[in-house]
């Protein structure tokens, strides 16, 4: 059983570390942000900061490399996004990041990292919510990378399984939220004719047509 869990953690770590890469690559290649939420970029930066802190404080070491690399990738997306759409988008990113960053703080003070970790898990759904809202409202999803959301779905599923196995509330809640939100975006891409699962996300990270 321990071997299976170790494999799940390694797989989730690898996928989580590269989840944002397809989106960063697509923005770099196309310079299109259609359907991509600036708020999602901001809250993703904030939440990965919290996951990094939780991993270090709670001794969930598998989260540390995932969160650290994800911070770098989302920072790259932020730079590309601002360069493409202008400085006005930076305000949306900053507001979103600050709002989400503040959410777990009172829970950390009152209940410590166990309670704060659960809130961070719930916040994973809040991280993806702006992306879901933008994807459902935007008439054009050219800028959205299906690869990122396929990776998000698989990664979230793995963390959910691992969280259930080790009874980690933060990972259970976060995994459940991730599965739900990433599924919604993939459904939206499918409905709008982008055929996300045809893209072979891992091998062709920019292929969300």
> In whole angstroms, what is the distance from residue 164 CA to residue 79 CA?
36
Half-sphere exposure of 205 (CA within 13 A, CB side): 17
Judge whether residue 208 has pLDDT over 80.
no
Range 22-27 average pLDDT: 92
Q: How many CB atoms lie within 10 A of CB 57?
A: 14
Whole-number pLDDT of residue 199: 54
Confidence of residue 23 (pLDDT cuts 50, 70, 90): very high
158 contacts 11 by C-beta, under 8 angstroms: yes
Whole-number pLDDT of residue 1: 62
Whole-number pLDDT of residue 134: 93
Render pLDDT for 143-197 as a digit per residue (tens, 0 to 9). Answer: 999 999 999 999 899 989 988 998 888 788 888 988 999 999 999 999 988 777 7
Q: Smallest Cα–Cα separation from 126: which of 146, 156, 99? A: 99
| pTM reported for the whole predicted model | 0.79
Judge whether residue 77 has pLDDT over 80.
yes
Judge whether residue 120 has pLDDT over 90.
no
Range 42-53 average pLDDT: 90
């Amino acid at each position: 059983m321990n071997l299976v869990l170790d494999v799940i953690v390694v797989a989730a770590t690898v996928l989580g570390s590269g989840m944002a890469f397809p989106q960063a690559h697509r923005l770099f290649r196309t310079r299109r942000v259609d359907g991509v939420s600036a708020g999602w970029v901001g809250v993703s930066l904030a939440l990965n900061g919290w996951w990094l802190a939780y991993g270090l404080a709670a001794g969930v070491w598998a989260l540390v490399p995932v969160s650290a690399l994800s911070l770098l990738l989302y920072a790259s997306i932020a730079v590309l996004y601002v360069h493409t759409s202008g400085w006005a988008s930076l305000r949306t990113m900053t507001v979103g990041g600050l709002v989400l960053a503040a959410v777990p703080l009172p829970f950390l003070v009152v209940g410590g990292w166990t309670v704060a970790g659960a809130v961070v898990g719930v916040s994973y759904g809040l991280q993806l919510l702006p992306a879901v809202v933008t994807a459902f409202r935007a008439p054009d999803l050219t800028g959205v990378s299906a690869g990122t959301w396929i990776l998000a779905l698989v990664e979230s599923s793995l963390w959910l399984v691992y969280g259930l196995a080790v009874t980690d509330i933060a990972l259970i809640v976060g995994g459940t939220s991730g599965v739900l939100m990433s599924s919604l975006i993939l459904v939206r891409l499918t409905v709008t004719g982008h055929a996300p699962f045809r893209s072979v996300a891992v091998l062709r990270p920019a292929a969300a047509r």
